[in-house]
Amino acid sequence: MTAGGDSSPTPLTGPSAPKVPRTDRLVALFLMAAVAFNPPLLRVFGAGDTVFGWPLLYVYMFAVWGGVIVLSALHLERGGGEQ
């Protein structure tokens, strides 16, 4: 037991600690993607404009999709950003 009477084990820290990804950032990334692919927001980019000959809606969708993939890969590869 510790001095405060708490019998819970102390968490491991340092290089021997297991790498557990923090799910709060992944949930936030999912919610951001859900808002980004929401139909009212997609209608804003579906106005018929083009970027280098590509419809703006396609450029927006592929950019957001790629961004979600890159951000989730960065988050998961570095172990969830342990503190």
pLDDT in tens, 56-67: 999 999 999 999
For the chain, residues with pLDDT lower than 70 are: 1-21, 79-83
Is residue 31 situated within a structural domain?
yes
Please indicate, yes or no, if residue 9 is contained in any of the structural domains: no
Examine residue 10 and state whether it is found in any structural domain, yes or no.
Answer: no
The answer to the question of residue 62 being in a domain is yes
Count the Cβ atoms, other than its own, within 10 Å of residue 11: 7
How many structural domains comprise the chain? 1
Q: Is pTM beyond 0.75 here?
A: no
What residue numbers bound the domain in which 60 lies? 23-77
Tell me what pLDDT residue 71 has: 93
pLDDT number for residue 7: 65
pLDDT the model gives residue 50: 87
Alpha helices (runs of H) in the chain, residue ranges in sequence order: 23-36, 39-45, 56-77
| 72 part of a folded domain | yes
Residue 39 has a pLDDT of 92
Q: Does residue 14 form part of some domain?
A: no
